Protein backbone atom coordinates (compact mmCIF):
# COMPACT_ATOMS: atom_id res chain seq x y z
CA UNK A 1 0.00 0.00 0.00
CA UNK A 2 1.35 3.38 -1.01
CA UNK A 3 1.13 5.65 2.03
CA UNK A 4 2.50 8.70 0.23
CA UNK A 5 -0.60 9.38 -1.83
CA UNK A 6 -3.54 11.43 -0.52
CA UNK A 7 -6.55 9.40 -1.75
CA UNK A 8 -9.24 11.93 -0.87
CA UNK A 9 -9.18 15.60 0.02
CA UNK A 10 -12.68 16.02 1.42
CA UNK A 11 -15.53 13.92 2.78
CA UNK A 12 -18.90 15.65 2.78
CA UNK A 13 -20.94 14.41 5.74
CA UNK A 14 -24.72 14.71 6.02
CA UNK A 15 -26.67 12.78 8.65
CA UNK A 16 -29.49 12.24 6.13
CA UNK A 17 -27.21 9.64 4.56
CA UNK A 18 -26.33 7.81 7.76
CA UNK A 19 -26.34 4.04 8.09
CA UNK A 20 -29.50 2.12 8.99
CA UNK A 21 -28.17 1.28 12.45
CA UNK A 22 -27.56 4.94 13.34
CA UNK A 23 -29.43 6.17 16.40
CA UNK A 24 -30.25 9.75 15.45
CA UNK A 25 -28.99 12.87 13.66
CA UNK A 26 -26.71 13.51 16.63
CA UNK A 27 -25.46 9.92 17.01
CA UNK A 28 -24.87 8.44 13.60
CA UNK A 29 -22.47 6.64 11.27
CA UNK A 30 -21.67 7.06 7.60
CA UNK A 31 -20.49 4.35 5.24
CA UNK A 32 -17.92 5.39 2.65
CA UNK A 33 -18.18 4.04 -0.87
CA UNK A 34 -14.76 2.42 -0.53
CA UNK A 35 -11.92 1.97 1.90
CA UNK A 36 -9.85 5.12 2.29
CA UNK A 37 -6.21 4.58 3.25
CA UNK A 38 -4.70 7.75 4.64
CA UNK A 39 -1.00 8.43 4.02
CA UNK A 40 1.85 9.38 6.31
CA UNK A 41 1.78 12.90 7.74
CA UNK A 42 -1.95 13.17 7.02
CA UNK A 43 -4.08 15.56 9.07
CA UNK A 44 -7.79 16.38 9.10
CA UNK A 45 -10.04 19.14 10.32
CA UNK A 46 -13.79 19.76 10.38
CA UNK A 47 -15.11 22.70 8.36
CA UNK A 48 -18.42 24.18 7.18
CA UNK A 49 -20.41 22.84 10.12
CA UNK A 50 -24.17 23.26 9.85
CA UNK A 51 -26.22 22.20 12.90
CA UNK A 52 -29.86 23.18 13.46
CA UNK A 53 -30.67 24.68 16.83
CA UNK A 54 -33.55 22.27 17.25
CA UNK A 55 -33.13 21.15 20.85
CA UNK A 56 -35.30 22.58 23.62
CA UNK A 57 -34.39 24.70 26.64
CA UNK A 58 -35.34 21.76 28.85
CA UNK A 59 -34.76 18.25 27.52
CA UNK A 60 -36.23 15.19 29.22
CA UNK A 61 -33.67 13.18 31.21
CA UNK A 62 -30.88 15.60 30.32
CA UNK A 63 -31.54 18.84 32.23
CA UNK A 64 -35.11 18.60 33.55
CA UNK A 65 -34.52 17.90 37.26
CA UNK A 66 -34.31 20.21 40.28
CA UNK A 67 -33.14 18.69 43.56
CA UNK A 68 -34.54 20.40 46.65
CA UNK A 69 -34.40 19.97 50.42
CA UNK A 70 -37.12 21.70 52.46
CA UNK A 71 -37.19 22.27 56.23
CA UNK A 72 -40.57 22.91 57.86
CA UNK A 73 -40.18 23.09 61.62
CA UNK A 74 -38.71 19.74 62.64
CA UNK A 75 -39.60 18.08 59.34
CA UNK A 76 -37.09 17.81 56.49
CA UNK A 77 -38.19 16.54 53.10
CA UNK A 78 -36.21 16.02 49.90
CA UNK A 79 -37.72 15.83 46.43
CA UNK A 80 -36.73 15.81 42.78
CA UNK A 81 -38.75 18.40 40.86
CA UNK A 82 -39.30 17.67 37.16
CA UNK A 83 -39.71 20.52 34.69
CA UNK A 84 -41.56 19.62 31.46
CA UNK A 85 -39.46 19.35 28.32
CA UNK A 86 -40.04 22.23 25.91
CA UNK A 87 -38.74 25.69 24.97
CA UNK A 88 -39.05 28.48 27.49
CA UNK A 89 -38.91 32.21 27.88
CA UNK A 90 -37.89 33.57 31.24
CA UNK A 91 -41.52 34.13 32.23
CA UNK A 92 -42.73 30.72 31.07
CA UNK A 93 -39.83 28.98 32.83
CA UNK A 94 -40.80 30.81 36.02
CA UNK A 95 -44.37 29.55 35.63
CA UNK A 96 -43.19 25.97 34.98
CA UNK A 97 -40.96 25.98 38.07
CA UNK A 98 -43.86 27.33 40.14
CA UNK A 99 -46.16 24.56 38.90
CA UNK A 100 -43.53 21.88 39.49
CA UNK A 101 -42.89 23.06 43.05
CA UNK A 102 -46.62 23.22 43.76
CA UNK A 103 -46.90 19.52 42.92
CA UNK A 104 -44.99 18.64 46.10
CA UNK A 105 -45.36 21.85 48.13
CA UNK A 106 -48.62 23.49 47.17
CA UNK A 107 -48.67 27.13 48.23
CA UNK A 108 -45.34 26.96 50.03
CA UNK A 109 -43.21 28.63 47.34
CA UNK A 110 -43.48 31.82 45.33
CA UNK A 111 -41.46 31.96 42.09
CA UNK A 112 -40.87 35.22 40.22
CA UNK A 113 -38.91 36.33 37.17
CA UNK A 114 -36.75 39.45 36.85
CA UNK A 115 -36.70 40.33 33.16
CA UNK A 116 -34.10 43.07 33.58
CA UNK A 117 -31.56 40.73 35.15
CA UNK A 118 -32.85 37.53 33.50
CA UNK A 119 -32.96 35.73 36.85
CA UNK A 120 -35.50 33.61 38.69
CA UNK A 121 -36.25 34.12 42.38
CA UNK A 122 -37.70 31.37 44.57
CA UNK A 123 -39.05 32.34 47.99
CA UNK A 124 -40.42 30.02 50.69
CA UNK A 125 -43.18 31.22 53.02
CA UNK A 126 -43.98 31.03 56.73
CA UNK A 127 -40.41 31.11 58.01
CA UNK A 128 -39.47 27.77 56.48
CA UNK A 129 -36.14 27.14 54.76
CA UNK A 130 -34.98 25.26 51.68
CA UNK A 131 -31.98 24.50 49.53
CA UNK A 132 -31.68 23.82 45.80
CA UNK A 133 -28.77 21.43 45.48
CA UNK A 134 -25.83 22.27 43.25
CA UNK A 135 -24.29 19.53 41.11
CA UNK A 136 -21.49 19.19 43.65
CA UNK A 137 -24.02 18.59 46.43
CA UNK A 138 -26.01 16.20 44.26
CA UNK A 139 -22.86 14.12 43.70
CA UNK A 140 -22.49 13.59 47.48
CA UNK A 141 -26.23 13.21 48.21
CA UNK A 142 -25.93 16.51 50.10
CA UNK A 143 -23.22 15.06 52.33
CA UNK A 144 -25.34 11.90 52.79
CA UNK A 145 -28.29 13.88 54.21
CA UNK A 146 -30.51 13.29 51.16
CA UNK A 147 -33.73 11.45 52.13
CA UNK A 148 -35.64 11.76 48.86
CA UNK A 149 -35.98 9.43 45.85
CA UNK A 150 -32.99 7.42 44.72
CA UNK A 151 -31.00 8.76 41.76
CA UNK A 152 -27.75 8.15 39.92
CA UNK A 153 -25.25 10.83 41.06
CA UNK A 154 -23.25 10.30 37.86
CA UNK A 155 -26.22 11.32 35.67
CA UNK A 156 -28.50 13.51 37.79
CA UNK A 157 -29.86 15.40 34.73
CA UNK A 158 -30.14 18.57 36.78
CA UNK A 159 -31.31 21.95 35.51
CA UNK A 160 -28.47 23.74 37.29
CA UNK A 161 -26.87 24.80 34.00
CA UNK A 162 -30.18 26.43 33.05
CA UNK A 163 -30.63 28.35 36.31
CA UNK A 164 -26.87 28.80 36.79
CA UNK A 165 -26.85 27.28 40.26
CA UNK A 166 -23.14 26.90 41.02
CA UNK A 167 -21.30 25.91 44.16
CA UNK A 168 -19.28 29.10 44.41
CA UNK A 169 -22.42 31.23 43.99
CA UNK A 170 -24.77 29.53 46.39
CA UNK A 171 -25.55 30.44 49.99
CA UNK A 172 -26.87 27.66 52.20
CA UNK A 173 -30.58 27.95 52.92
CA UNK A 174 -30.82 31.55 51.74
CA UNK A 175 -34.37 32.83 51.32
CA UNK A 176 -35.02 33.80 48.60
CA UNK A 177 -32.91 31.74 46.22
CA UNK A 178 -31.85 33.95 43.30
CA UNK A 179 -30.55 32.18 40.24
CA UNK A 180 -27.67 33.29 38.11
CA UNK A 181 -28.53 34.53 34.63
CA UNK A 182 -30.74 31.80 33.24
CA UNK A 183 -29.62 30.02 30.09
CA UNK A 184 -32.56 29.67 27.72
CA UNK A 185 -30.46 28.22 24.89
CA UNK A 186 -30.06 24.96 26.84
CA UNK A 187 -26.53 24.13 25.64
CA UNK A 188 -24.01 26.91 25.08
CA UNK A 189 -21.60 24.73 23.10
CA UNK A 190 -21.72 21.48 21.17
CA UNK A 191 -18.91 18.96 20.84
CA UNK A 192 -18.53 16.73 17.79
CA UNK A 193 -16.90 13.44 18.75
CA UNK A 194 -15.72 10.44 16.74
CA UNK A 195 -14.01 7.25 17.85
CA UNK A 196 -13.08 6.61 14.20
CA UNK A 197 -11.14 9.83 13.66
CA UNK A 198 -9.67 10.49 17.08
CA UNK A 199 -5.95 10.24 17.70
CA UNK A 200 -6.30 10.57 21.48
CA UNK A 201 -4.28 13.79 21.71
CA UNK A 202 -7.19 16.08 22.58
CA UNK A 203 -8.70 16.49 26.04
CA UNK A 204 -12.35 17.46 26.50
CA UNK A 205 -13.88 19.31 29.46
CA UNK A 206 -14.43 15.99 31.27
CA UNK A 207 -11.21 14.41 30.01
CA UNK A 208 -12.71 12.96 26.84
CA UNK A 209 -10.22 11.82 24.20
CA UNK A 210 -12.43 11.69 21.11
CA UNK A 211 -13.61 15.28 20.56
CA UNK A 212 -12.77 16.53 17.07
CA UNK A 213 -14.61 19.87 16.98
CA UNK A 214 -16.26 22.39 19.31
CA UNK A 215 -19.17 24.42 17.94
CA UNK A 216 -20.52 27.44 19.82
CA UNK A 217 -24.30 27.88 19.96
CA UNK A 218 -24.48 31.06 17.94
CA UNK A 219 -28.11 30.98 16.75
CA UNK A 220 -31.50 30.97 18.46
CA UNK A 221 -33.94 28.09 18.37
CA UNK A 222 -35.23 27.38 14.88
CA UNK A 223 -32.15 28.75 13.12
CA UNK A 224 -29.01 27.11 11.80
CA UNK A 225 -25.70 27.22 13.63
CA UNK A 226 -23.10 27.72 10.92
CA UNK A 227 -19.43 27.40 11.83
CA UNK A 228 -17.11 28.35 8.97
CA UNK A 229 -14.13 29.15 11.15
CA UNK A 230 -10.95 27.41 10.12
CA UNK A 231 -7.44 27.61 11.50
CA UNK A 232 -4.18 26.26 10.14
CA UNK A 233 -3.47 24.95 13.63
CA UNK A 234 -6.87 23.30 14.17
CA UNK A 235 -6.12 19.82 12.86
CA UNK A 236 -5.75 16.24 14.05
CA UNK A 237 -3.21 13.72 12.85
CA UNK A 238 -4.83 10.76 11.07
CA UNK A 239 -1.74 9.23 9.48
CA UNK A 240 -2.09 5.64 8.22
CA UNK A 241 -5.72 5.34 9.29
CA UNK A 242 -8.07 3.20 7.21
CA UNK A 243 -11.57 4.66 6.94
CA UNK A 244 -14.72 2.88 5.88
CA UNK A 245 -17.44 3.45 8.47
CA UNK A 246 -17.12 6.66 10.50
CA UNK A 247 -19.11 7.40 13.64
CA UNK A 248 -20.10 10.84 14.96
CA UNK A 249 -21.78 12.06 18.12
CA UNK A 250 -22.90 15.59 18.95
CA UNK A 251 -22.80 16.11 22.71
CA UNK A 252 -23.18 18.81 25.32
CA UNK A 253 -20.45 19.73 27.79
CA UNK A 254 -21.61 17.00 30.16
CA UNK A 255 -21.35 14.27 27.55
CA UNK A 256 -25.07 13.91 26.78
CA UNK A 257 -26.14 13.26 23.20
CA UNK A 258 -27.98 16.44 22.18
CA UNK A 259 -31.49 15.72 20.85
CA UNK A 260 -31.96 17.38 17.45
CA UNK A 261 -35.50 16.07 16.93
CA UNK A 262 -34.97 14.64 13.45
CA UNK A 263 -33.12 17.68 12.11
CA UNK A 264 -30.07 16.70 9.99
CA UNK A 265 -26.54 18.02 10.42
CA UNK A 266 -23.78 18.43 7.87
CA UNK A 267 -20.07 19.27 7.75
CA UNK A 268 -16.94 18.62 5.74
CA UNK A 269 -13.89 16.57 6.72
CA UNK A 270 -10.85 18.13 5.05
CA UNK A 271 -7.62 16.15 4.65
CA UNK A 272 -4.14 17.43 3.88
CA UNK A 273 -0.53 16.36 4.23
CA UNK A 274 2.05 18.06 6.39
CA UNK A 275 5.41 18.39 4.68
- The pLDDT of 241-265, averaged and rounded, is 96
Q: How many folded domains does the chain comprise?
A: 2
What pLDDT sits at residue 51? 98
Q: Is 250 left (phi over 0), alpha (psi -120 to 50) or beta?
A: beta
CA atoms within 13 A on the CB side of 15: 23
Q: Predicted confidence band at 275 (pLDDT cuts at 50, 70, 90)?
A: low
Is 60 inside a domain boundary?
no
In contact, 109 and 101? CB cutoff 8 Å: yes
Q: Which of 178, 208, 240 finishes a domain?
A: 178
pLDDT for res 1: 47
Q: Is the same domain home to 29 and 86?
A: no
Residue 85 shares a structural domain with residue 144 = yes
Q: Are residues 79 and 166 in the same domain?
A: yes
Instruction: Tell me: do 131 and 80 sit in the same domain.
Output: yes
Shared domain check, 195 and 258: yes
**162 and 79, same structural domain?**
yes
Q: What is the pLDDT of residue 199?
A: 76
Do 101 and 163 share a domain, yes or no?
A: yes
The pLDDT value recorded for residue 273 is 86
Average pLDDT in the chain: 91
What's the distance, Cα to Cα, between the start and end of the chain in Å? 20
Q: CATH code at 240?
A: 2.60.120.1100
Out of 111, 143, 178, pick the residue that ends a domain: 178
Which residues contact residue 229 at a Cβ distance below 8 angstroms, ignoring those fewer than 6 apart?
none
Q: Please indicate, yes or no, if residue 5 is contained in any of the structural domains.
A: no
CA distance 275 to 272: 10
Residue 217 lies in a domain: yes
Q: What are phi and psi of 103, to 5 degrees?
A: -60, -40
pTM of the model: 0.90
If we measure between CA atoms, which residue out of 268, 259, 177 comes closest to residue 226? Answer: 268
Q: In the structure, what pLDDT confidence band is assigned to residue 6 with cuts at 50, 70 and 90?
A: confident
73 contacts: CB under 8 Å, gap ≥ 6: 128
Please give the residue range of the domain that contains residue 213.
10-55+187-273
Number of Cα atoms under 13 Å in the Cβ half of residue 200: 0
pLDDT in tens, 8-67: 899 999 999 999 999 999 999 999 999 999 998 899 999 999 999 999 999 999 999 999
CA distance 3 to 6: 8
pLDDT tens across 71-99, in order?
998 999 999 999 999 999 999 999 999 99
Is 4 a domain residue? no
Question: Could you tell me if residue 2 is inside a domain?
Answer: no
The domain boundary residue, chosen from 132, 159, 178: 178
* Separation in Å, CA 50 to CA 47, 56, 163, 189, 219: 9, 18, 28, 14, 11
Amino acid sequence: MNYNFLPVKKIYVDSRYSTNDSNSDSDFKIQLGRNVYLPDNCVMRIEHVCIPHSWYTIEKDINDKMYIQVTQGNTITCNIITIPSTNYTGASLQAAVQTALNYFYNGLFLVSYDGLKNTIQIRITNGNSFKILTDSEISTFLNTTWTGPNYDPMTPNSCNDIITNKTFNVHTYLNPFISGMINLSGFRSLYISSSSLTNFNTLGPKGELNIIKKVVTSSDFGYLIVDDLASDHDFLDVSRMTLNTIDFQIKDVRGNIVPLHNSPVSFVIVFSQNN
